[in-house]
Chain A
Amino acid sequence: MAEDDIQLLVRIKTGDYNAFEILFNRYYNFLCNSALMFVKDSFLAEDIVQEVFVKIWETRTVINITSSIKSYLFIAVKNRSLNKIQSETVRKEYSSRFLNQQNNEVLQVELEQEEFREHLYRCIQKLPPRCKDVFLESRFKEMKQEQIAAKMHISLKTVKTQVSKALRYIQNCLQLYYPEYF
């Protein structure tokens, strides 16, 4: 756990609202996007994350976090998201995949995966405009390269070049964010 997080938690326990705000700003974005993986609605995702923080503030005097704050928040958001998933079938699928494996190792993997996605998203946002457009058509809309070429009025060769340019760019960008992985 980052030293900073421990200090923040200590300050929060003593009723320091400013420390609470710092913690909130630090993880809000990450947690909303994590919640979004389950609930598919950014409106609801924000509600869930805010509820988790409200709970933290209200129970601050008795709260006992043994793992890192980030993974504590992540688990809280995940559980709350699963509770909100309306469809029983979806919940079943998730619960067999996630809930029964509440051990630390699996959670660590999930958390690491969400962190990777957060970095990946940042890097995609930074792609040069034209390159980004082609990459988004290819990976977000999962369009075939021929379709992209036709839609954007460019040659198939250009599509290929832009997609690999994007991959190279993202790989370099991730290296900056993420020296442990790359």
Chain B
Amino acid sequence: MNDKVEIICSYLSGTSTEEEILLFNEIMEQKEGRLLFAQLKRIWDEAPNVRNHQEYDSKRAFYELSKRMETNRKLKRRYLVATISGIAASILLVFGLWGIIKLQGDRNNQTEITFKTETGNRSELVLPDGSKVWLNAQTQIKYSPDFGKSNRNVSLSGEAYFDVSHSTKPFVVDVKDFKIKVYGTKFNISAYPDDQYFQTSLESGQISIKKEGNEEITVKPGQLIKYERKSSAFQSGTVETERYSAWRLNKMYLDNETIKDLARKLERQYNILISFVPESLGEGIHYSGIFTNENVTEVLDAISIASGLKYTKKDNKYTIEKK
């Protein structure tokens, strides 16, 4: 026996048999039937609208907000101090420029210029052509002294966010496995030698990826290109690119990442070591979430609670295992 809900359901999904259509018409003749239909139709029609709904952590959010307001207050207080130190900074800048000119003077010896961040550190720098680079932890960027003159080539190991100034000379980032060619744009590259994947996401402008022996791939804004090093294969997808450069703002965004990958990020950022017992544990559990400015124990607490894990700490070594 078909019941009313089933008949209405067939109607809503457009799969009614002829017999069901007759039964449906019977239901709609009664007031009570029409009411049931209206209720179910509303559920049916509204359901796709909640597909992106989620459960937010309001406790965490309130903590974030409190910190944000605290910083606002401090910034206001510091405004005067900042103006004074601004003057001091411009004096320093003059000396800084002198340093660069001097460096260009001895460029006959073609030593490369290297910037490096250690574990647990981040840094930003301005390249001679005016392009800005933000370096995540454990990252190294190198360029030759004639950068900006005959070429704009840099080589990168680690993770960086680029805001490249516009020029007819292409800006090329070499990450060893492939090269990325850029024409004035904002994008993020993650290419840590110990990671399984290299990935780049483009916020605006245009970049293309060239791997020796492969065709050039053009990346569009909003796209993420993932490169699996083991198989040398590229994958692409559309993403919210801000999430991939969120580390610049001290936010860590995780979208269904294995906790092994997450552990790598934490190791770089906090200068710690994380191991899993058994080792396969790290691959089996996935985690999604956002962390802002948390210290390492806050992050590990959150993951442990969410995934039924526990961790122990000895010096700067953390061991994670099942509860």
Contact = CB atoms under 8 A, between A and B. Distances in A.
B49 A25 contact: no
B316 interface: no
Nearest to B9: A164
B44 interface: yes
A124 B47 contact: yes
Contact of A21 (B5, B50, B62): B62
A71 interface: no
Q: Specify the main secondary structure of chain B where it touches its partner.
A: helix
Interface in A79-121: 113, 116-118, 120-121
B132 interface: no
Given A140-B51, A164-B6, A167-B5, A117 B68 contact: no
A139 interface: yes
A156 B69 CA distance: 55
B238 to A, nearest CB: 12
B39 A145 contact: no
Interface string A146-163: 000000000000001101
B118 interface: no
B119 to A, nearest CB: 27
Size category, B interface = 35 or more
Interface stretch (B52-60, B93-101, B266-274): B52-60
B44 A167 contact: yes
A177 interface: no
Nearest to A31: B56
B54 A33 contact: yes
Contacts of A167: 5, 8-9, 40, 43-44
A49 B15 CA distance: 42
Given A42-B54, A46-B56, A140-B51, A160 B10 contact: yes
A174 B40 CA distance: 11
B47 A33 contact: no
A171 B39 contact: yes
A124 B50 CA distance: 9
A53 B6 CA distance: 45
Contact of B62 (A24, A118, A171): A24
Given A57-B69, A124-B47, A28 B58 contact: yes
Contact of B61 (A36, A50, A118, A170): A50
A138 B13 CA distance: 9
B43 A43 contact: no
Contacts of B5: 164, 167-168, 171
Contacts of A28: 56, 58, 61-62
Given A142-B48, A145-B15, A25 B58 contact: yes
Nearest to B69: A54
A120 B13 contact: no
**Looking at A33, A41, A117, A164, which has the most chain B CB atoms within 10 Å of its CB?**
A164
B194 to A, nearest CB: 27
Interface of B: 5-6, 8-10, 13, 15, 39-40, 42-44, 46-56, 58-59, 61-62, 64-65, 68-69, 72, 240, 242-243, 246, 253, 290
30 contacts: A24-B62, A25-B59, A28-B56, A29-B55, A33-B53, A36-B53, A40-B52, A42-B52, A42-B56, A46-B290, A49-B61, A53-B65, A54-B68, A54-B72, A117-B46, A117-B49, A117-B50, A118-B53, A124-B50, A125-B55, A139-B48, A139-B51, A140-B51, A160-B10, A160-B13, A163-B9, A164-B6, A167-B9, A167-B44, A182-B39
